[in-house]
Structures are given as C-alpha cells and as structure tokens.
Chains A and B, each alone.
Chain A
Amino acid sequence: EAGVVQSPRYKIIEKKQPVAFWCNPISGHNTLYWYLQNLGQGPELLIRYENEEAVDDSQLPKDRFSAERLKGVDSTLKIQPAELGDSAVYLCASSLEDRGKQYFGPGTRLTVT
C-alpha cells in the first residue's frame, strides 16, 4: 500500500514569493491533515479536511495561508507571500475518518531567505 505522498521534498524561496505544497493521501483515507513542524518542536495542526470540507482550520493563518482539497483526494497548501518565519517542515497526514490513527508523509522542508 502506497503511503502519503508529498512534493516537493525541499523548497527554497525568497521572502515575499508564493509557494505551494502538494499532498496525495493514502487511497481511501477521507481525512487529511496539514501540520507545521518548526525545528526542535512537535508538529502543530494547521487544517483538517473531512473529504473536501475543511472542518478545523482554526490554526491556519488565513491572511497568507490557504488550502484546498478539490474532489476530496489531493490537497494543496499555499503560502502567499512567504515570510522568513515560515521556514519549517510542512507535514501532510491522512486517516480513516473514525480511526484516529494518522499516517504521515515525508514532509516538505521550506526555507525562506
């Protein structure tokens, strides 16, 4: 069974530029999560989708961050414009709706210069 796929694995951009991350969850998993992991910290939830609906986006900085999950499968997380403080690893995870066990992708390491 294929795991959660994320791309790109690494991204370096200059501040004020836009950036987008892509995630493909495990087949059949209708719940998808985006987490932010700062260096030396545990992941923090940004947004959770149930199918195509964002059911928890309370931690997403909506002035510059946006996310979408069209058709309830793949998802894209965007930052526009990026700031130096956005440098971190962005993790995607998926789960079956009622199971609680989340499977994580390898993450995208973003560096903003």
Chain B
Amino acid sequence: AQKVTQAQTEISVVEKEDVTLDCVYETRDTTYYLFWYKQPPSGELVFLIRRNSFDEQNEISGRYSWNFQKSTSSFNFTITASQVVDSAVYFCALSGIAGGTSYGKLTFGQGTILTVHP
C-alpha cells in the first residue's frame, strides 16, 4: 500500500521568508511518480511538479525548488522569498508508473496549510 505523510499541518511565515514543506512517502513500487499540488482558496488543485523516481536531480523553477532523496523517501518543497499569493494548501502525492500496481492512482498526503503574512 502507498502512503504519503506531510507532518506539518500548518505553517505560518512572514513575507520574504523561505519555507520548506516536508513530504515522506512509502511505496512497494520500484518506479513511481511524485507530485506537488497547490490548492488555493478557490479549491482547484494546481499542478506544480512531477518527478520520476529514477531521476533524483533536484529541480528549481523560479522561487520554487524541490529536493528528492530516494534514500530517505522524501520529496521536500521549498519556496524562496515567500509571497502572500503563496498562501494555500499544498499537497504531496504519489502514483505508480504504467505497469506498476498503483498505476493511475494518486495517493495524497494530508496537506500543509501555508499562510504567508504581509
């Protein structure tokens, strides 16, 4: 069975601070995808990133960066110089790759509520 754990329920920061959202996962699949989604107050889940399990290169996109460490089953997300518009619920998720037992099924963590104060 797959499991995603986001230990931080809520995080509150002041604008321009850096913030890291933690994600730890469990899976029996040897290959899988990891995702981060953002859910603003409007409710629609917005895709941020997908990472293949065989690609452990860290990725940076503007103020966002992701640190994938297969050895510790972690896929952490850092926002640099946070802004008020970053306030949202952030979900880490896991799914199998075609042919795997969990193909097509996204397993989400509980989410981390991020509040950025001006």
Contacts and interface: CB of A to CB of B under 8 A. Distances in A.
Interface of A: 31, 33, 35, 40-45, 48, 55-56, 89, 91, 93, 95, 98, 100-107, 109
Interface residues of B, number: 23
A104 B45 contact: yes
Contacts of B50: 100-101
B91 interface: yes
Interface in B67-118: 91, 93, 95, 97-98, 104-106, 108-111
A38 to B, nearest CB: 10
Contacts of B30: none
Contact of B95 (A40, A89, A100, A107): A100
A97 B35 CA distance: 17
B43 A55 contact: no
A56 B91 CA distance: 22
A42 B111 contact: yes
Contacts of A56: 104-105
Contacts of B97: 100
10 closest pairs, A vs B, by CB? Answer: A42-B108, A104-B45, A106-B44, A100-B33, A107-B43, A42-B91, A45-B105, A98-B98, A43-B108, A101-B50
Most buried by A among B35, B37, B44, B104: B104
23 contacts: A31-B104, A33-B104, A35-B106, A42-B4, A43-B91, A45-B105, A48-B104, A55-B104, A56-B104, A91-B45, A95-B104, A100-B33, A100-B50, A100-B95, A101-B35, A101-B50, A103-B47, A104-B37, A104-B44, A104-B45, A104-B47, A106-B43, A107-B43
B42 interface: yes
